[in-house]
Structure 1
Amino acid sequence: MKILSITTATNHLSVALNDGDKIWEKNEEDHRNHSEHLDPLINELLKENDLTLKDIDRFAVAEGPGSYTGLRIGITTAKMFASILNKDLVGVSTLAALANGASDGLIVSELDARNKNFFAGVYHKANGRLENLVPDGHYHLDDLMNKVKDVGLSEQVIFVGSPIEKYQDEIKDLLGSDNFTQDAGDNQIHAGEIGKLALNKEAVDPDKMVPKYLRRTQAEMDWHKKTGKAFGPDSDYVEEV
């Protein structure tokens, strides 16, 4: 099965073609305008492998968490391809993809959300199998470390994602242990890992896929404050002007 995977969830842009055990991947770092770079990168990848979009069996995309704008770019592109070509579409957790690319062990997959808050999930990886132990969510550092302790500290804790250097002392105090480290890899989200996880996931209706932000957008909060109405489906808070 040929799977074309995309991640625009962070400033690291990555696209990949997975075909069995083979992976071809292209990456760009620190390009903020993914909307301009995504399509050319996909075209390069397909051209180098003598393929067109019609040859792809399944499209996969990082569905969140991540940059609100970035997620929308990647998801909209994948939805469009799948819908027009009548092909499978799969959404993959950004944090699961991060964890899948990390070393084996107890993994805290995280993206710094500022003010000691993180988009994070806790995973265990062994022998190519990834298990989610703490659901992806938006956690304060204290709460996140308590959840890691609840899982158990029988092995070294591996952080993958945003650098944890400035939180080292706090993490040590909260865990009651210094048996943790940053993953030795590049700590980026790679589309090839999305493709691996997408192979056995159930496809979704492209019209129903929405980003998994894991916290409400500022637009939602402003709408709720202005109207006093309960939060509803994504489109309910959009104000016509």
Structure 2
Amino acid sequence: MKHNLLAIDASTEALSLALHFRGKTFTHFEECPQQHSQKILPLVESLLAQANCTLKELDGIVYGRGPGSFTGVRIGVAVAQGLAYSANLKLSGVSTLQAMAQQAMCSSECDEVISAIDARMGEVYLGHFIKDDNGNASAKRDEIVVKPDLIEGDFSGMSAVGTGWQSYADTAHKLSLKVIEDITLPSAEYMLALGDKAFESGETVGAQDAQPHYVRDTVTWKKLPGRE
């Protein structure tokens, strides 16, 4: 990695942070539903102390932009914005679905991953990713929210990650997916490389322009009438 970055994600039950500073990486991951707002800032301070650095010594902040819990996504984005304002840093938002695919590609050496997060109300957030020439997860299609029994496509033999496949194991079996059981929630550690790529290419925003990505406005991978 070329940049010193702090990554924050509060989009799901997990609260995850990662800090890359001068060649070393420091991480924190825990499942703590409904405690994110109380814990996130002390954990940021703890990681900075471990690395013996300050916010102003960083090149930027990476935040989990969603999808996930609306409240959790907002907490993560708001904290990232506040920290960026205080230190005059740029930001890059990373998809939670993409982060899980990135972890799978790093740990299992798979080239194509279907990520799914349980979206409640009988739906999942769904993303389809392939490994690019640099070894990073790249979106093959737009992320969507969909009822599991309406998922269409040939995914036979592809790797799958996320809570969506735990909640809807029958759908994973029907689609012939290979579920990686130990990757269920996004980890900020795997947002670092994706954020580093964004900072390298200048795909960053100021604090005022950091936005969540809820995905609720996209509902199917089936082509709409008239858009085939």
Shared fold (TM-score greater than 0.5)?
Answer: yes
> Residue in 2 aligned with 1:111?
117
> Residue in 1 aligned with 2:224?
none
Q: Which has the higher mean CA deviation after the structures are superposed, 205-214 or 66-75?
A: 205-214
**Corresponding residue to 1:125 among 123, 131, 136:** 131
Asked if the contact 2:112–2:158 (Cα under 8 Å) also holds between the matched residues in 1, the reply is yes
1:48 aligns with 2:45: no
1:36 aligns with 2:43: no
Asked if the contact 2:7–2:18 (Cα under 8 Å) also holds between the matched residues in 1, the reply is yes
> Residue in 2 aligned with 1:26?
28
1:142 partner amino acid: D
Residue 105 of structure 1: CA displacement?
A: 3.0
**Corresponding residue to 2:65 among 60, 63, 66:** 63
Q: Give the TM-score normalised by structure 2.
A: 0.82
> Residue in 1 aligned with 2:163?
162
Q: Relative to 1, partners in 2 of residues 1:86 and 1:27: Cα closer, same or farther, differing over 3 Å?
A: same
CA–CA separation in structure 2 for the residues paired with 1:211 and 1:13: 16
CA–CA separation in structure 2 for the residues paired with 1:131 and 1:189: 16
CA–CA separation in structure 1 for the residues paired with 2:166 and 2:65: 27
Secondary structure in structure 2 of the residue aligned to 1:38: helix
CA–CA separation in structure 2 for the residues paired with 1:69 and 1:187: 19
**Corresponding residue to 2:195 among 186, 194, 198:** 198
Residue 84 of structure 1: CA displacement?
A: 2.4
CA RMSD of aligned residues (A): 2.0
CA deviations over 1:87-108 (Å, ceiling 9, x no partner): 1111111111111011313211
Q: Relative to 1, partners in 2 of residues 1:163 and 1:141: Cα closer, same or farther, differing over 3 Å?
A: closer
Q: Give the TM-score normalised by structure 1.
A: 0.78
CA–CA separation in structure 1 for the residues paired with 2:172 and 2:183: 21
Structure 2's unaligned 5+ residue stretches are 218-228
CA deviations over 1:160-206 (Å, ceiling 9, x no partner): 11052453334444x3xx3x222143422111111110012111122
Structure 1's unaligned 5+ residue stretches are 217-241
Q: Relative to 1, partners in 2 of residues 1:99 and 1:213: Cα closer, same or farther, differing over 3 Å?
A: same
Asked if the contact 1:14–1:26 (Cα under 8 Å) also holds between the matched residues in 2, the reply is yes
1:139 aligns with 2:162: no
Asked if the contact 2:165–2:171 (Cα under 8 Å) also holds between the matched residues in 1, the reply is no
Q: Which has the higher mean CA deviation after the structures are superposed, 14-23 or 39-48?
A: 14-23
Q: Relative to 1, partners in 2 of residues 1:190 and 1:70: Cα closer, same or farther, differing over 3 Å?
A: same
CA–CA separation in structure 1 for the residues paired with 2:73 and 2:121: 22
1:213 partner amino acid: Y
> Residue in 1 aligned with 2:86?
84
Larger radius of gyration: 1
Identity %: 31
1:71 partner amino acid: V
CA–CA separation in structure 1 for the residues paired with 2:94 and 2:167: 29
CA deviations over 1:48-98 (Å, ceiling 9, x no partner): 111111211110100111111111111111111112211111111111111
Q: How many residues align?
A: 206
Asked if the contact 1:9–1:64 (Cα under 8 Å) also holds between the matched residues in 2, the reply is yes
CA–CA separation in structure 1 for the residues paired with 2:40 and 2:170: 39
Asked if the contact 1:16–1:192 (Cα under 8 Å) also holds between the matched residues in 2, the reply is yes
CA–CA separation in structure 2 for the residues paired with 1:82 and 1:165: 35
CA–CA separation in structure 1 for the residues paired with 2:95 and 2:170: 29
